[in-house]
Amino acid sequence: MSPTLISASRVILPDAVLEPGWVETDGGRITAAGPGLPAREPDAHFPDAILAPGFVDAHIHGGGGFSFNDADPAAAGVRIAGVHRSHGTTTLMASLVTAPLTQLEKAVAALAALVEQGVLAGIHLEGPWLSPDHRGAHAAELLLAPEASAIDRLMLAGRGTVRMVTIAPELEGGLAAIRQITGYGAVAAIGHTGAGYDVAREAIAAGATAGTHVFNAMRPLHHREPGPALALLEDPAVFAEVIADGVHLHPSLVRFIAASPARAVFVTDAMAAACAQEGTYQLGGLDVRVSDGEARLVSDGTIAGSILTLDAAVRHAVHDAGIPLADAVRAASQNPADMLGLSDVGRIEAGRKADLVVLSPELEVAAVMKAGRWLTPST
């Protein structure tokens, strides 16, 4: 690939917004970025547009009618990645909902190949070690207390590609499981939990560094028993996943979490219905009805993931929650990359992968670059 020079009215860097600015790429990497007009005629010029780092989705279950829990997770994974790339997500994890251990083991092994090929950034196990009382869209009969042998089994099936595991730390063996998970180099995330404040603090001390969709599917905040959300949000070393879709959280809470710019991690928690027609779907073997932009269990109306894309999350954060654009972009790129330990994505910075998204003034995706190549909707 020959060098490519791109200019835009705004370029969002890790610690500054250039107005205007330019970025140069070569060999699939960013080689330089700077303010003002470039020294030569740019190869691509985006007047009145915003150049941002490609989005990083740390928690996503599907899209385009496909799910990572499908019978052929590898084939589904390729389709899901393509669907979300068209919305600016150039890096994504494969999140698996609770299933029998044998099924999870097979899915992890199949998806590990996509991680090794660079299609996915890693695998996220959201279950089966979750609280039955805060299970959300996870089948109650499949939930388990964590056992060392089961953790080893799934982590080894992933060949080092399992990057994050959601766990309810109050379960028997929960704190030991957190230490075991982090010993594999994966992120332990507190979620789907009935833990109190003190237990959540113990889990953080044991090595948990993230909260899975904070406030959702966890013990609520109370003035005498603050629960896990406060423990997660008061620790500056802990990342907080946020589903910024206007359904899961009130905009004021999105704004409150994002007030600490290095903490908020926008995720979609998207299910198969994202970027697909509304109707009835399955998530982890449970029937989900998608209508009016919401995904809910047919059985009891519980929220069951979302149909969100990260570009829509950025728009909601800016337009509805009043978050500064640079902070919203950071929550969709730099912060999730930092949470997952991904050192070559999430920032417009020399040496990083040339993963870029061009946003219109209305924050709609106008163009996407992945590893130095402009993508068409079909790639």
Question: Please, what is the end-to-end C-alpha distance for the chain in angstroms?
Answer: 17
Comparing C-alpha atoms, which of 8, 12, 14, 1 is closest to residue 343? 14
203 is in an annotated binding site: no
Angle at 276 between CA 272 and CA 278, to 5 degrees: 90
- Respond yes or no: is residue 269 known to be catalytic: yes
137 is in an annotated binding site: yes
| Amino acid (1-letter code) at residue 260 | S
213 is in an annotated binding site: yes
Structural contact between residues 238 and 204, judged by C-beta atoms closer than 8 angstroms: yes
231 is in an annotated binding site: no
In angstroms, how far is CA 195 from the centroid of its own chain? 23
How far, in Å, are 17, 49, 52, 125, 359 from residue 9 at the CA level?
10, 6, 11, 40, 11
126 is in an annotated binding site: yes
Q: Which one of 269, 311, 327, 355 is the catalytic residue?
A: 269
224 is in an annotated binding site: yes
82 is in an annotated binding site: no
319 is in an annotated binding site: no
303 is in an annotated binding site: yes
84 is in an annotated binding site: no
192 is in an annotated binding site: yes
Q: Which residues are catalytic?
A: 269
Residue positions in the annotated binding site for substrate? 137, 216-217, 224, 248, 303-305
Residue positions in the annotated binding site? 126, 137, 192, 213, 216-217, 224, 248, 303-305
Residue positions in the annotated binding site for Zn(2+)? 126, 192, 213
